[in-house]
């Protein structure tokens, strides 16, 4: 009985020390990361668009984390500087992604600021990027006989517009584009210095 008590006590002390060393002490050493001054919280339209982004699985084919030039040619592709932790301050959940079937979207708002381009690309990707493997999202749009006041009509390339009809963006498409246009991380980031 005495040996069992010593064994249990030793196990508990070892677990407490390990937890302290691996969890508690590092947590106490962490300091909150302040977001860059140029990074703004998402608007309500961008948050709705972010939900559409998640719901349609965009995260499975697009990343939002350009890598350092030492690891990949992301800067040569025009995807912008490598991301830092502060860039994701307002992201809950973080949408970093792991696959790159499509291009990285970390700076898509700076690379492609046109709402017309984004809407048309969502409706028919191959009209804007020949050979694209991105699926079309026609359910984010309505095909009507004529536009009503307040409708956002798509300007499509010749051959992609339904004859005698107009394609109108639904609110989900407009919100998604608003979110993507807000993905602009071209502000400067200050490098941290080790002490």
The pLDDT tens digits for 166-194 are: 999 999 999 999 999 999 988 887 655 54
Indicate the class that CATH gives domain 44-181. Answer: mainly alpha
* pTM, full prediction: 0.80
Contact 86, 33 (CB under 8 A): yes
pLDDT at residue 108, rounded to an integer: 94
Q: What is the mean pLDDT of the chain?
A: 89
pLDDT at residue 194, rounded to an integer: 44
Q: How confident is the model at residue 161 (pLDDT cuts 50, 70, 90)?
A: confident
Q: How confident is the model at residue 15 (pLDDT cuts 50, 70, 90)?
A: very high
Contacts for 163 with CB less than 8 Å, ≥ 6 apart:
none
Q: How confident is the model at residue 135 (pLDDT cuts 50, 70, 90)?
A: very high
* Percent of the chain predicted with pLDDT > 70: 96
pLDDT at residue 1, rounded to an integer: 66
Which of 30-34, 36-40, 62-66 bottoms out in mean pLDDT, i.e. has the lowest?
A: 30-34
């Amino acid at each position: 009985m005495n040996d069992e008590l010593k064994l249990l006590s030793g196990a508990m002390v070892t677990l407490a020390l390990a937890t302290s060393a691996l969890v508690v002490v590092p947590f106490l050493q962490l300091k909150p990361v302040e977001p860059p001054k140029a990074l703004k919280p998402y608007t309500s339209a961008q948050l709705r668009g972010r939900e559409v982004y998640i719901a349609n699985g965009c995260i499975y084919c697009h990343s939002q984390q350009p890598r350092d030039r030492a690891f990949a040619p992301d800067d040569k592709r025009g995807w912008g500087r490598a991301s830092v932790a502060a860039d994701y301050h307002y992201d809950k959940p973080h949408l970093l992604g792991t696959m790159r079937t499509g291009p990285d979207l970390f700076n898509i708002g700076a690379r492609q600021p046109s709402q017309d381009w984004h809407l048309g690309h969502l409706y028919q990707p191959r009209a804007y990027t020949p050979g694209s493997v991105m699926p079309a999202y026609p359910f984010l749009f309505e095909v009507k006989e004529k536009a009503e006041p307040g409708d956002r009509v798509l300007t499509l390339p010749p051959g992609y517009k339904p004859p005698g009809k107009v394609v109108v963006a639904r609110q989900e498409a407009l919100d998604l584009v608003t979110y993507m246009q807000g993905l602009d991380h071209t502000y400067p980031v200050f490098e941290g210095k080790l002490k």
